[in-house]
């Protein structure tokens, strides 16, 4: 398998057509080796337009979804980022290249360890992987400039929005199948938030986040 050709095809055929035009994001996807963050059993699928199983009921998001979220988060070099749902650490690596510091929370200790190993091999030194419940966030480490949820939730918990700095952004995939929306919330004041939902997709659930009740009386 020609990895460089496969990477080029992923960027040109999956990611660009999905309205990802930010040159810095495209460059990052060309240089951060996605295949090094994919479990050995699925290496051949590293550049395919699909979610890749990581074990423990978790998976990597499809490349185009990761790329679009990264572009929409618009992380800057001086910013502090909180990621929820580390998985294999690939999105963590992308964020770390753009941010000053990344704190990433992973519920499954086995995945956290996998991510630490992957990040170390990739030469990433400004990201900390912590085993924790992401639904609570990391209030003692905040406020954050960017909070990214690497998976879907039924709704964004107010506890996470409270950990945003004024001017900070939270990006998550919100809703229920068959329609979920990429949701970008900007904190515009102490108690004010601006919400945009620029595109639709579907992504697997992050664990431990509250689900709405479907009982109707």
Residues 183-198: tens digit of each pLDDT = 999 999 999 999 999 9
Cβ–Cβ < 8 Å for 127, 147: no
Q: Which helix (H) or strand (E) holds 26?
A: helix 23-31
Please identify which residue in the block is written with the tokens 């978790």.
58
Tell me if 146 is assigned to some domain. yes
Please tell me the total count of domains within the chain: 1
Least trusted range by pLDDT, from 13-27, 58-72, 105-119, 200-214 = 200-214
Under the banding of pLDDT at 50, 70 and 90, the label for residue 56 is: confident
pLDDT value, residue 82: 98
pLDDT value, residue 211: 83
Cβ–Cβ < 8 Å for 152, 181: no
Beta bridge partners of 105: 84, 130
Tell me if 213 is assigned to some domain. no
82-91 mean pLDDT: 97
- Alpha carbon distance 110, 118 (integer Å): 12
Under the banding of pLDDT at 50, 70 and 90, the label for residue 57 is: confident
Cα 33 to chain centroid distance, Å, stands at 16
Whether the per-residue pLDDT at 19 is higher than 70: the answer is: yes
pLDDT value, residue 215: 57
Q: What is the pTM of this model?
A: 0.95
In terms of residue numbers, what domain contains 114?
A: 3-201
Tell me if 210 is assigned to some domain. no
List alpha helices for 86-141, DSSP H: 90-98, 109-121
Whether the per-residue pLDDT at 156 is higher than 60: the answer is: yes
Query: From the CB of residue 23, how many other CB atoms can be counted at a distance below 10 Å?
Result: 7
Considering only residues 57 and 6, tell me which one the structure prediction assigns the higher pLDDT.
6
Long-range CB contacts (within 8 A, 24+) of 190-195: 190/166, 193/161
What CATH number should be reported for the domain holding residue 120? Answer: 3.40.50.150
Q: Is 87 left (phi over 0), alpha (psi -120 to 50) or beta?
A: left
Whether the per-residue pLDDT at 76 is higher than 70: the answer is: yes
Please identify which residue in the block is written with the tokens 């997709």.
201
Tell me if 206 is assigned to some domain. no
Whole-number percent of the chain with pLDDT over 90: 89
Tell me if 216 is assigned to some domain. no
Whether the per-residue pLDDT at 60 is higher than 80: the answer is: yes
Whether the per-residue pLDDT at 217 is higher than 60: the answer is: no
54-71 mean pLDDT: 93
Sign of CA dihedral 90, 92, 93, 99: positive
Cβ–Cβ < 8 Å for 100, 76: no
110-116 mean pLDDT: 97
pLDDT value, residue 216: 56
- Alpha carbon distance 173, 29 (integer Å): 21
50-55 mean pLDDT: 92
- Alpha carbon distance 49, 89 (integer Å): 18
Tell me if 211 is assigned to some domain. no
Tell me if 209 is assigned to some domain. no
Tell me if 212 is assigned to some domain. no
- Alpha carbon distance 171, 148 (integer Å): 5
Whether the per-residue pLDDT at 164 is higher than 70: the answer is: yes
136-145 mean pLDDT: 97
Look up residue 78 and give its two tokens: 């001086």
When the pLDDT of each residue in the chain is averaged and rounded to a whole number, the result is: 94
């Amino acid at each position: 398998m020609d990895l460089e050709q496969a990477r080029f095809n992923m960027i040109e055929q999956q990611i660009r057509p999905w309205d990802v035009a930010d040159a810095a994001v495209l460059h990052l996807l060309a240089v951060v080796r996605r295949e090094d963050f994919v479990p050995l059993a699925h290496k051949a699928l590293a550049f395919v337009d699909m979610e890749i199983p990581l074990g423990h009921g978790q998976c990597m998001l499809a490349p185009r979804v990761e790329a679009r979220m990264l572009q929409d988060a618009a992380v800057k070099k001086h910013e502090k980022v909180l990621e929820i749902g580390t998985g294999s650490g690939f999105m963590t690596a992308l964020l770390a290249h753009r941010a000053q510091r990344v704190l990433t929370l992973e519920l499954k200790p086995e995945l956290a360890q996998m991510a630490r190993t992957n990040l170390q091999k990739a030469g990433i030194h400004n990201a900390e992987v912590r085993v924790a419940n992401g639904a609570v966030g990391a209030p003692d480490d905040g406020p954050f400039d960017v909070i990214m949820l690497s998976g879907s939730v039924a709704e964004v918990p107010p506890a996470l929005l409270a950990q945003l700095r004024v001017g900070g952004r939270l990006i998550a995939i919100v809703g229920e199948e068959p329609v979920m929306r990429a949701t970008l919330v900007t904190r515009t004041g102490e108690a004010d938030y601006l919400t945009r939902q620029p595109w639709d997709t579907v992504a697997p659930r992050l664990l431990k986040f509250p689900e709405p009740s479907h009982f109707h009386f």
